[in-house]
């Protein structure tokens, strides 16, 4: 695995908040080149979440910041195009399976996902019940591949396409630790940081200190910080410039072994797996497309 102390090459990273308006008309992302109706339609799709998979018209309007009439026209358009469906005779709407085509087409093109699958399989067994690859997208980690043999008894429901807050996750810490300080702060400040468990770190000084420690040792360790009863160890997948294109992790129930024993058992396998995946990516010429929108 690349040395944690190696300097990070500068990369263009957009920190424009979601919904913010660009001011330069010459830039592709400026308001001049923004199709507002399309943006509003996409915000309707984003209104549906895992926590709120079914919404009424008024709820869609509230979540997208539009009036009911506009929300109705947008929903009706998306229904006709097949991306949203009305639930029976109710007034509720939900995303259709057609939306999966967009997400899976994007994920399927990622070289890292194809290369990661056999690596993750070698990490899952009696000791580690899940292994995952995640990438940074705004203030969240997006899981693009996951092999899981257990953890259902802990109520863990993380799958391909799941998103979790960066500040609370080992994968998030593993990736952020290898980014510039200003990017770390911008990403961590991009959303509220409520405690998900009693162990979740939420204060900026504590988080930045954690990232410094992760950078120094080369991996992140989470002890029940996202899900009670779950321990996770993660290492970054670094490209040839030392830029973290993804994070690789293993997870195990906390009751199985003390924290020190879990760390000792997981550290080298995860570091070696992350290094092997980095080499495979370099050999294939592929790289995970990573969007950092703070």
pLDDT tens for residues 10-39? 333 333 334 444 344 445 555 667 788 898
* pLDDT digits 0-9 by tens, 218-234: 999 999 998 888 999 99
What DSSP string runs through 222-286? EESSSSTTEEEEEEEEE-TTS-EEEEEEEEEEGGGS-HHHHHHHHHHHHHHHHHHHHHHHHHHT-
Q: What is the pLDDT of residue 101?
A: 67
Domain 110-284 coded CATH 3.40.50.300: no
Q: What is the pLDDT of residue 51?
A: 82
Report the candidate in 138, 154, 188, 107 with the shortest Cα–Cα distance to residue 16: 138
Q: How far apart, in Å, are the Cα atoms of 79 and each of 76, 82, 95?
A: 5, 5, 9
Rounded CA-CA distance 70/41 in Å is: 10
Inter-residue contact 260 to 271 (CB < 8 Å): no
Inter-residue contact 289 to 112 (CB < 8 Å): no
Fold for domain 35-101?
Arc Repressor Mutant, subunit A (1.10.10)
Q: What is the pLDDT of residue 200?
A: 94
Reported pTM: 0.65
Helix (H) or strand (E) holding 58: helix 57-64
Strands across the sheet containing 92-95:
54-56, 92-95, 84-86
DSSP bridge partners of 22: 30
The domain spans of the chain are 35-101, 110-284
Helix (H) or strand (E) holding 23: none
Q: Tell me if residue 152 falls in helix, strand or coil.
A: helix
Inter-residue contact 288 to 135 (CB < 8 Å): yes
Rounded CA-CA distance 178/214 in Å is: 9
Spans in the chain with pLDDT lower than 70: 1-32, 100-101, 103-110, 126-127, 150-157, 285-294
Rounded CA-CA distance 180/272 in Å is: 24
């Amino acid at each position: 695995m690349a040395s944690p102390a190696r300097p990070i090459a500068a990369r263009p990273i957009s920190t424009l908040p979601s919904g913010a308006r660009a001011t330069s008309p010459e830039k592709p992302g400026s308001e001049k080149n923004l199709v507002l109706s399309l943006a509003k339609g996409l915000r309707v799709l984003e209104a549906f979440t895992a926590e709120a998979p079914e919404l009424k018209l008024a709820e869609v309007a509230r979540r997208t910041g539009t009036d009911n009439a506009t929300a109705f026209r947008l929903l009706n358009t998306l229904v006709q195009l097949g991306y949203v469906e009305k639930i029976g005779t109710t007034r509720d709407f939900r995303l259709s399976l057609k939306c999966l085509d967009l997400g899976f087409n994007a994920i399927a093109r990622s070289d890292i996902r194809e290369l990661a699958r056999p690596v993750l399989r070698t990490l899952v067994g009696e000791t580690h019940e899940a292994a995952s690859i995640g990438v940074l997208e705004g203030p969240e980690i997006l899981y693009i591949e996951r092999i899981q043999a257990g953890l259902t008894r802990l109520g863990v429901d993380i799958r391909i396409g799941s998103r979790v807050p960066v500040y609370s996750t080992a994968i998030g810490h593993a990736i952020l630790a290898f980014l510039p300080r200003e990017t770390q702060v911008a990403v961590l400040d991009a959303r509220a940081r409520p405690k998900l468990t009693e162990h979740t770190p939420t204060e900026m000084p504590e988080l930045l200190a954690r990232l410094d420690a992760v950078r120094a040792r080369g991996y992140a360790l989470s002890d029940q910080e996202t899900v009670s009863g779950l321990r996770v160890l993660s290492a970054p997948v670094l490209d040839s410039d030392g830029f973290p294109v993804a994070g690789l992790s293993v997870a195990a129930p906390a009751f199985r072994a003390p924290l020190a024993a879990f760390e000792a058992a997981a550290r080298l396998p995860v570091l070696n797996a992350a290094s092997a995946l980095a080499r495979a990516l370099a050999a294939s010429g592929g790289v995970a497309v990573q969007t950092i929108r703070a």
